[in-house]
Structure 1
Amino acid sequence: MSTRYLESLFNPSSIVVIGASERADNLGGMVLRNLLGGGYPGQLLVVNQSGYDNVHGVHCVPRVSKMEFTPELAIICTPPDTVPKLVKKLGELGVRTAIVMTGGMSRTHSKTGQPLMYSVREAARETGLRVLGPNTIGLMVPARSLNATYAHMGAIPGRVAFIGQSGTIASSVLDWAFARGVGFSYFLTLGDGMDIDHDDLIDYLAQDSQTRAILLHIENVPNPRRFISAVRVASRTKPVIAVKSGRVPESEWIPHALPAGLKRSDPIYDAMLRRAGVLRVDGLGQMFDALETLTRMRPLRRESLAIMANGVGPGVLAVDRLADLGGELAKLSEQTVESLAKLLPPYWTRKNPIDLNYDASPELYANAIKILAKDPEVANVLVMYAPSLTEDSLRIADAVVQASKGTRLNVFTCWLGQSTVMDSREEFYRAGIPSFFNPEKAVMAFMQHVRHQRVQRLLTETPESFTDHFADRVRPRRLVANALRSGRSYLSNREAREVVRDYGINTIDTLYCDDVEEVLEVFAVERRPVDISIIHEQVCHPFLDLSPSQRRYKGTVKKLNSEAAIIDGCRFLMDEYQEHFPDSGFIGFAVQYSYQHVGGVEFSVGITRDEQFGPLVVCGASGAQINVMTDRQIALPPLNMVLARELLRRTYMYKLLKEHSLKPEEDIRAVAETLVTLSQIVIDIPRIKGLEISPLLFNEKGAVAVNVAIDLDEKPSKPIIQPYPRELEEWIVLPKSGRRVIIRPVLAEDEPTHRAFHEHQSPESIRYRFFQYRKHFSREDVAQMVQIDYDREMVFIANAPKEDGEGEETLGTVRTWTDADNLRCEFAVMVDDKMKGEGLGLALMRKMIDYCRSRGTVEMVGNVLPDNRPMLRLAEQLGFEIKYNPDEEVMDLRLVLNEPEKDWQKERLRRGGAHL
């Protein structure tokens, strides 16, 4: 990911259009006309080998080598086979960015046999040129009068950025947005995305003050790790709304190789977008409806909805749609009901939705809103109106606007109809109140707001602590290594049980036998009924995709209580195995004593692996009576307890567990702990390809794994979200007090101690750290401090047991934010007042400097108040360059960590880190 030279793309002082002519159907000519028609203020030049003196009045030269100046941006509209050489030549001439609009490069091949678009990427990498495309519609920056596209119309200026992948979809978005009055800060498509990709642009837009919301149209994500890292940063500060096309295998442009246990790739994208804090919608209409509510409504204090209309019918339609989408109606207080009763006919329903009657006046609408504003249970109100002979819709709209001002309510409207209500909708638009054409769209847009707030909440939730069961990681790793060394791509049933048991997951007591004689010996010890399963190579693999005939296979016999029954049972199992799996090597029998007091709702939980997205945690139903594949839900590791519970809540089995378990909360926690543990297993042992526990049942100790299967891959796979870097933990002893302190990366679970640390510091220490006095830190403030992306930020905290022995406390913290290009990181450090003189600040800073230097960051910077003498002395001791900044009235600190290697890095650093 890199924002290198993107400023030259979005704000070029000069542009060359290569391949433009005055033919009506010429691609370059269309682009040039749009540049001129949009009033582009910079220098323009055309390159065309046909010998024109000018094209549409713009000077033309025959070759790029004849250009009189070096443009910042080149727009290439020439035949496919000419593009790679042009890209290379432009880069050698010092051009920073290029837009390749030429299409068909994914289907046109070079002499080496690979598509030409890859030759474009190689040429760009050789010279450092940034390329948008190939096969892109181009880009628009309306506020800068830049329309470098072949689109049929321009965009109006606004605060919304659109990044698409399809030019035809982008054209329809332009039409749609213009009709709705939606303006854009940036508008572009990626095309084939050979260089500049989603993550580069999202990083740029996240820092852009003129962009309030980001709209994405996604067909595929070539680099999920970079994408999710960028989007998680952006979605914390502005809404990100995405449409993902290709939801079913038949509509996928690039077929997705499915991981074991899944029938579609779409749920993987769903899990990624949810984890990134993105609101995913089903189409362009929903995208703009969601944009209405997210940008025009305040954050929701409650998720319930009050509905009022001048008739029963519209209210009923709205309630039906709300129920379909899993929403809830607000419950009106008794005082609200009595206040409304004074205004409404005696036969009104006295409940939500509120029927104001067909002759409702502007005053009645206004008074009803004012009454609802006083109800503490009401936070969101949908106001609807159907045209009538008795009242003027515009007067009612004006009354709604005026009554809504100054209230704490989120008000949005639905004026049904078309010809007689357009002026009313315009009134709402001017007032900043979302308005919709029908109840279904209005309720859907509201529920999009609810869903967005829920995924945002996951970014700032503080997980409950979870006891670390993972003390012995050595034996599981050894089992996996030995299996791979012996040429096996799976663990035996016995080995798989040992792995999960070593990680603290309870398993059914199981004995393993090579033949029926050993089974009889096991039975003879206690002469208790036994359950016997046959073990062969194929059943050692998780998520078996069985043929129709194999689905009739029976691999277990239960409650055998005599030698004769055991002999017959083993013979039956061997017959079943030889009929259905004749090519699968026989391993033996697994024997379990019957009646081990396990039961409850049957879950299937595990790990599968995707080629692009890495390991995935799955959870859902187990058992023949349930559609297992339909219920299977997905989450991205690493998981904590909050994320594990959210995954569990999405399954149908969660509802059954809530309804039928004798101890629902304990069982829910047990399943969530198992999911967190599985997430940790695949992080610790990245050569595990798949792991399935099916079924997962319950006993008095919690969740119990009845059957476990694990398969392996020589190639390790890492999660696309950077997990907790345990290797960075370090114990130190403070020289003055002799106190043992652990310096480690922060965890989301550290929120309580982190908050306590900030709240008991002196006012002076708080001012030195935050440049202002602060008496209070909210849970949300501190949650953002501890919920970090280890790819982008790092926070080291110094923790130690409390002196009274009651728990742990935070004694100091150091934080860095690193830009997308890993050029510069900004630091902040703070040490507990009582620890002054212990050298803890020095230890924290050295830890952070070593970490940033090792990851290749070029320099570290910071700002310090001039009277913060202790920090200035520490900076001097660490070798920082210190200068006074008269504009900001602070001391600027700078420390070179690594020498910049590229010219663009040196130039960026000279300009203070601004986009180039």
Structure 2
Amino acid sequence: MSTRHLDALFNPKSIVILGASERSLNLGGIVLRNLLSSEYPGQLLVVNPNEYDNVHGIRCVKKVTKMPFTPDLAIVCTPPESVPRAIKKLGQMGVKTAMILTGGLSRTHSKSGRPLMYSVRDAAKASGIRILGPNTIGIMAPRNKVNATYLHMGALPGKIAFIGQSGTIASAVIDWAFSRGVGFSHFLTLGDSMDIDPDDLIDYLAQDRHTKAILLHIEMVPNPSRFISAVRAASRGKLVIGIKSGRVPESQWEPMPLADGITNGDAVFDALFRRAGILRVNGADEMFDALETLTRMKPVKKDTLAIMSNGLGPNVLAVDRLANLGGELAELSEKTIDAIAELMPPYWTRKNPIDLNYDASPETYSTVMDILAKDPNVSNVLVMYAPSLTEDSLQIADSVITKAKRARLNIFTCWLGQSTILDAREAFFEAGIPTFFSPEKAVKAFMHVVNHQRSQRLLKETPSSYSDYALDRAGARNIVHNAIRSGRNHLSNEEARQLIADYGVPTVETWYCDDIEEVVEIFKEVGGPINVTLLHEKSSHPFMEEKTGRGRYKTTIRRLNEEDTIISSCEELFVQYKEHFPNSGFLGYSVHRSHQHIGGLGFSLGITRDPKLGPLVVCGAAGASVNVMSDRRVALPPLNMVLAKDLLTQTYMYQLLKEYSYRPAQDIRAVCETLITLSQIVVDIPEIKGLEILPLLFNKGGVVAVDVAIDLGIPAKLSIQPYPAELTEWITLPKSKRRVEIRPIRGEDEPAHIEFHLKQSPESIRFRFFHYRKSFSHEELVQMVQIDYDREMVFVATVPKEEGAGNETLGTVRVWTDADNLQCEFAVMVSDELKGERLGFTLMNKMIEYCKSRGTVEMIGSVLPDNKPMLSLAEKLGFESKWDPEEEVMALRLPLNVPKDEWQKEQLK
């Protein structure tokens, strides 16, 4: 990922257009006219091999080599076969960025038979020039007066950035946005994303103070790990809304293969968007509804909704949509109901939604809103109105606007109709109150707010502590490595069962038999009833029900209690096995006691591997219902208790478990702990390609795995970097001889972090944060402890508390690294009680070595001039220090690695 030269793309001081002419349909000419119309203030130049002195009044030269200056940005609109040479020449001339508007480079081939796009990529790589496209519409940056596109109209200036995939969709979005008065800070499409990817642009926009929201329209994610990291960083401070097109194989240019066990590939993108903090919408209309609500509405304190209208019909439509989307109505207090009842006819329903009657006046609307504002159960109100003969819609709108400005409530509106209510809608728009054309749209937009805040809470939630009790990770790894050494791509049933048992997942006690006689002997020893399963080579692979329709024949016969029945059942299993799997080697039988469990509920849990996103954790219903109910949900590992609970609650089985379990809280936690364990398994053993527990049942002690299958493959990297436990080390403090653990920070460290800051002196707090802080909010602490290990690193020095559970934090050092891995900025703080223990030096030294190993070029920091201890420490560590008169701090700099490229040297100047 890199933001290298992107400022030259969005804020170019000079632009050259290759291929522009004055022909009416000439692509370059259209772009030039748009630049002139936008009153672009920088230098413009045209390159065209024809004998033109100028094009639309702009100077024209015949060749790139004849350019009188080196432009920041080149816009290439020439035929496909000329583009590779043009990029090569532009790079040699020192041009930093180029946009290729020419299409068809992926389908036009050179003489060697290779698509021209690869020749362009090679030419760009040789000089380091950044490429947007090919097949992009170009870019708009209205604040900088840049409209370098071929679109039919320009964008209004605003605080929203749009990153699109399709030029046609982008054209419609611009038109749509203009009609709603929506403006943009940046607007572009990616085209074929040969070089500049969505994550590059998101990193750039995340740092842009003029951008408050980012709209994404994407068809694919080239690098999921980088994309998630970039969006997670951006979504902490900006609203990110995403549309994913190509959701089904029929709409994909090249249908993506599905991971084993996944029947709906779009569910994988749901998981990606949820984990990244993107609010997903289904279309441009919904996107702008969500944007209007999220940017105009106050933060939602409660997830419930009160609804009021001058008629029952709109209320019913709104409630139906709310229930369909998983929302809830606010429960009005008796005091509120009695107060509203005094205004209503005797037959009023006395409940939410509130029917104000067809003749409701502006005073009625105003009074009811006053009453609702006093109800602590009410936080959000949808106010609706349908045109009537008795009242004026604008007067009612004015009464709502007046109350909305002073009320603590979140108020949004729906004025139904068209011709007679346009003035009212315009009044709401001018007042900054979200307004919608239909009850369904209004409720959907409200639920966008609710879901977005839930998603943000998920990103910021401090996970519950989860201990990995008595795990035999070494034993589990040995099982896998032995299988790989023997040339197998899967584990046997017995090996798979042992592996999850080594990780603490309870399994059904199982006996393995080579033939029917051994099954009978086990029955005599164990007593009945028993379950018997026939094992063969193909049954050792996970997710076989989806691949083979295994539910159409028996693989297990249950509750056998007589010797003759056992023999005949084994024979029946063998006949069916030979019929359905004649080429799959026979492996014998497995036997276990018939297992009693609650309500017939069985979960299917496991691990699968997506071709792009890598390992996924899956959860849903066991058996044939997986396909019928579409109840398999997915999440990206690693998981903690909060994320595991979020995955579980998406399934239908979660509702059944809550309804039928005798101990719902304990059983829900047990399933979540199993999901976390599976997540840890794939972190520890990346060779596991697929794992399925089918089914996971319940007994008095909790969950128990009945059958397990595991596939193996080449090691796979997770899309989200797991906790880097390998960076943990122990040291001994020189004076007190205390043993201290130094490790990367975890979300569970929030309580210890609070105590650590409370114990610090005012001076230490001022040195660290440049001003005195008495306390920190939960959100601020989450930012400190819930980090993206791809972008940040925090090492904490910690010891067990002398009294009570938990740990005590003694010191911390953190770095923030830019998207280009050029600079990292450090901050360090050590407990006031540990002076002379060299803990600050140890923490800083560990961080310096870590950043060097990642290839970061230099470390920087800012220190108050009276912070003598830190300045002394920096000198010992080799930092250069220089007074910064603008910021009034000492600027520290420490080279870590030698810059590899010229652009790195230039950017570090």
TM-score range, shorter chain: over 0.9
Q: Report 1:592-607 matches (<5 A).
A: 592-595=592-595, 601-607=601-607
Q: CA deviation at 1:408?
A: 1.5
CA contact (8 A) 1:263 1:629 kept: no
For 1:352 and 1:233, the matched residues in 2 are separated by 40
Verify: 1:853 aligned to 2:844, yes or no.
no
Q: CA deviation at 1:624?
A: 3.6
What residue is the counterpart of 1:701 in the other structure? Answer: 701
Amino acid at match of 1:313: G
What residue is the counterpart of 1:378 in the other structure? Answer: 378
What residue is the counterpart of 2:226 in the other structure? Answer: 226
What residue is the counterpart of 2:808 in the other structure? Answer: 809
CA contact (8 A) 1:550 1:580 kept: no
Q: Report 1:764-913 matches (<5 A).
A: 764-804=763-803, 806-910=805-909
What residue is the counterpart of 1:187 in the other structure? Answer: 187
What residue is the counterpart of 2:573 in the other structure? Answer: 573
For 2:722 and 2:364, the matched residues in 1 are separated by 56
What residue is the counterpart of 2:21 in the other structure? Answer: 21
CA contact (8 A) 1:640 1:676 kept: yes
Amino acid at match of 2:567: I
Change (3 A) 1:746 1:138: same
Q: Deviations over 1:840-862 (max 9, x none)?
A: 11111111111111101111111
Q: CA deviation at 1:884?
A: 2.0
Q: Tell me the SS of whatever aligns to 1:300.
A: coil
What residue is the counterpart of 1:913 in the other structure? Answer: none
Q: Deviations over 1:64-86 (max 9, x none)?
A: 11111111100001111111121
For 2:720 and 2:23, the matched residues in 1 are separated by 50
Amino acid at match of 1:588: G
Q: Deviations over 1:781-813 (max 9, x none)?
A: 212211111000111111111122543211111
For 2:529 and 2:149, the matched residues in 1 are separated by 76
Q: CA deviation at 1:762?
A: 2.1
Q: Deviations over 1:29-66 (max 9, x none)?
A: 11111111111111111111122111111111111111
Q: Tell me the SS of whatever aligns to 1:151.
A: coil
Amino acid at match of 1:758: H
CA contact (8 A) 1:601 1:661 kept: no
CA contact (8 A) 2:397 2:424 kept: yes
What residue is the counterpart of 2:242 in the other structure? Answer: 242
Q: CA deviation at 1:366?
A: 2.1
Q: Identity of aligned pairs, percent?
A: 67
Q: Deviations over 1:687-706 (max 9, x none)?
A: 11000000001122221110
Amino acid at match of 2:206: A
Change (3 A) 1:629 1:261: farther
CA contact (8 A) 1:602 1:696 kept: yes
For 2:318 and 2:595, the matched residues in 1 are separated by 52
For 1:769 and 1:527, the matched residues in 2 are separated by 69
CA contact (8 A) 1:249 1:264 kept: no
Verify: 1:478 aligned to 2:492, yes or no.
no
Amino acid at match of 1:358: Y
For 1:799 and 1:459, the matched residues in 2 are separated by 25
Q: CA deviation at 1:746?
A: 0.9
Amino acid at match of 1:395: Q
CA contact (8 A) 1:6 1:204 kept: yes
CA contact (8 A) 2:471 2:504 kept: no
CA contact (8 A) 1:139 1:147 kept: yes
Q: CA deviation at 1:27?
A: 0.8
Q: Deviations over 1:575-619 (max 9, x none)?
A: 111111011111121121335778752000000001100000000
Aligned residues: 909
Verify: 1:504 aligned to 2:482, yes or no.
no
For 1:142 and 1:607, the matched residues in 2 are separated by 47
Q: CA deviation at 1:724?
A: 0.4
For 1:576 and 1:248, the matched residues in 2 are separated by 35
Change (3 A) 1:407 1:547: closer
Q: CA deviation at 1:367?
A: 2.2
For 1:764 and 1:532, the matched residues in 2 are separated by 71
Q: Tell me the SS of whatever aligns to 2:569.
A: helix
Verify: 1:41 aligned to 2:41, yes or no.
yes
CA contact (8 A) 1:219 1:253 kept: no
What residue is the counterpart of 1:756 in the other structure? Answer: 755
Amino acid at match of 1:829: V
Is there any run of 5+ residues in structure 1 with no aligned partner, and where? Answer: 911-916
What residue is the counterpart of 2:128 in the other structure? Answer: 128
CA contact (8 A) 2:813 2:828 kept: yes
Q: Tell me the SS of whatever aligns to 2:630.
A: helix
CA contact (8 A) 1:600 1:661 kept: no
Q: Report 1:685-724 matches (<5 A).
A: 685-713=685-713, 715-724=714-723
CA contact (8 A) 2:626 2:632 kept: no
Amino acid at match of 1:731: W
For 2:113 and 2:720, the matched residues in 1 are separated by 35
Amino acid at match of 1:822: N
Q: Deviations over 1:83-137 (max 9, x none)?
A: 1121121111100000000011121123343322222222211210000000001
Amino acid at match of 2:222: P
For 2:895 and 2:547, the matched residues in 1 are separated by 62
What residue is the counterpart of 1:747 in the other structure? Answer: 746
What residue is the counterpart of 1:294 in the other structure? Answer: 294
Q: Tell me the SS of whatever aligns to 1:506.
A: coil
Q: CA deviation at 1:164?
A: 0.1
Q: Deviations over 1:715-764 (max 9, x none)?
A: 21111001001110111111111111111111112222222222232222
For 2:738 and 2:554, the matched residues in 1 are separated by 61
For 1:466 and 1:516, the matched residues in 2 are separated by 43
Amino acid at match of 1:348: W
Query: What's the Cα RMSD here?
Result: 1.6
For 1:803 and 1:64, the matched residues in 2 are separated by 73
For 1:127 and 1:547, the matched residues in 2 are separated by 49
Amino acid at match of 1:371: I
Verify: 1:424 aligned to 2:424, yes or no.
yes
What residue is the counterpart of 1:354 in the other structure? Answer: 354
What residue is the counterpart of 2:436 in the other structure? Answer: 436
What residue is the counterpart of 1:914 in the other structure? Answer: none
Amino acid at match of 2:737: G
For 1:643 and 1:393, the matched residues in 2 are separated by 46
CA contact (8 A) 2:599 2:661 kept: no
Change (3 A) 1:700 1:719: same
For 1:790 and 1:94, the matched residues in 2 are separated by 35
Q: Tell me the SS of whatever aligns to 1:307.
A: strand
Q: Report 1:232-381 matches (<5 A).
A: 232-381=232-381
For 1:812 and 1:127, the matched residues in 2 are separated by 45
Q: Report 1:94-109 matches (<5 A).
A: 94-109=94-109
Change (3 A) 1:763 1:693: same
For 1:907 and 1:744, the matched residues in 2 are separated by 35
For 1:385 and 1:494, the matched residues in 2 are separated by 66
Is there any run of 5+ residues in structure 2 with no aligned partner, and where? Answer: none
For 1:183 and 1:211, the matched residues in 2 are separated by 11
CA contact (8 A) 1:599 1:699 kept: no
What residue is the counterpart of 1:8 in the other structure? Answer: 8
Q: CA deviation at 1:349?
A: 2.1
834-843 or 743-752, which deviates more? 834-843
Q: Tell me the SS of whatever aligns to 1:191.
A: coil
Q: Tell me the SS of whatever aligns to 2:544.
A: coil
Change (3 A) 1:687 1:595: closer
For 1:321 and 1:269, the matched residues in 2 are separated by 24
For 1:528 and 1:104, the matched residues in 2 are separated by 70
For 2:168 and 2:666, the matched residues in 1 are separated by 52
Change (3 A) 1:428 1:625: closer
Amino acid at match of 2:89: K
Verify: 1:736 aligned to 2:735, yes or no.
yes
Change (3 A) 1:396 1:597: closer
Amino acid at match of 1:129: I
CA contact (8 A) 1:599 1:697 kept: no
Amino acid at match of 2:623: G
For 1:121 and 1:94, the matched residues in 2 are separated by 16
Amino acid at match of 2:242: A
Q: TM-score, normalised by structure 1?
A: 0.97
Change (3 A) 1:440 1:558: closer
Amino acid at match of 1:458: L
376-385 or 520-529, which deviates more? 520-529
Q: CA deviation at 1:625?
A: 5.3
